[in-house]
Amino acid sequence: MKHLMTLLAAVLLGGAAFAAPIATIPADTNVGAAAIYATPVTGGVLYVTRVTDPTGQGPTVATNFVPTAQLLPNAQVGTLNATTGSLAAGKITGALNVTLISSNATPGAQLVRTAAQMLSDFGVASGFTWNFSVCNSGAGTLTLTADSGATVTLSGTMTVAQNVCRRFVGNFTGAATATITSVGSGTYD
């Protein structure tokens, strides 16, 4: 509520809580000019529409909150051709359902990013859950490993052999903690 009141006051008073409108609508004979603003807030995006009154009675403000999960793409596919190392941003994050295809002959251990980094990839709050798959077309075995700060707990089988696709569920259990759970596997052609 505090964020909402601050944002509303800033819009009403012409403050700088929003950089610039994401859309403007010119005035006509019945309605004054309108501007639509957007700003990220915890758990989503707040959209504010400010309409000026052509009679000079002051602006009308309407708000709409959209949860981050509704703003994320439904699916994303990425590739990895690397040996042992750390997964880059967006390799197993960034959409509600992510597929990572590894093609290196010796993928080895792949370190997941910290929970805070992955949370930032999504721009969501704790409690958010997503699905991802790791498919391995390379000759070696890929193994997901916990981040160096141990902010991500890994549960179940984390190895992905050649021609296997393993499914995972990720869940942010806090602002700096997450769990990744293996939930099954299948053949990758």
pLDDT digits (tens, 9 = 90+) for 38-62: 777 666 677 777 777 666 666 767 7
Residue 182: give the domain boundaries.
Answer: 72-187
Asked if residue 76 and residue 32 are part of one domain, the reply reads: no
- The answer to whether 90 touches 113, Cβ cutoff 8 Å, is no
Same-domain pairing of 109 and 78: yes
94 and 8: one domain?
A: no
Q: Which of 49, 67, 85 is the last residue of a domain?
A: 67
Query: Is there a single domain that holds both residue 48 and residue 79?
Result: no
Residue 97, burial from CB neighbour count under 10 angstroms (0-12, 13-18, 19+): middle
- Number of other CB atoms surrounding residue 161 within 10 Å: 15
Residue 35 CA to residue 23 CA, distance in Å, equals 6
Q: What is the pLDDT along the chain (189 residues), one digit of tens a residue?
A: 444 544 554 544 454 456 677 777 776 666 667 777 777 766 667 777 777 766 666 676 777 766 666 678 889 999 999 999 999 999 999 888 999 999 999 999 999 999 999 988 887 778 888 999 999 999 999 999 998 778 999 999 999 999 999 999 999 998 899 999 999 999 987
49 phi/psi in degrees, rounded to 5: -110, 130
* Alpha carbon distances (Å) from 183 to 45, 82, 92, 104, 159: 31, 24, 15, 24, 12
Please say which residue of 44, 67, 90 terminates a domain.
Answer: 67
Length of the chain: 189
Q: Are residues 119 and 27 part of one domain? A: no
- Residue identified by tokens 């403000």 is 61
Q: What is the pLDDT of residues 162-172, one digit of tens each?
A: 999 999 999 99
How many domains in the chain?
Answer: 2
Specify the pLDDT at position 136: 96
Q: Among residues 25, 44, 67, which one ends one of the domains?
A: 67
pLDDT at position 48, please? Answer: 76
pLDDT (0 to 100) of residue 56: 64
Are 170 and 101 within one domain? yes
Same-domain pairing of 90 and 118: yes
CA distance 50 to 14: 10
126 and 172, same structural domain?
yes
Whether 56 and 82 map to the same domain: the answer is no
User: Do 81 and 173 share a domain, yes or no?
Assistant: yes
146 and 61, same structural domain? no
Rounded CA-CA distance 170/181 in Å is 6
Check whether residue 170 and residue 102 sit in a common domain: yes
Q: Give φ, ψ of 25 to 5 degrees.
A: -125, 125
Residue 165's identity, in one-letter code, is C
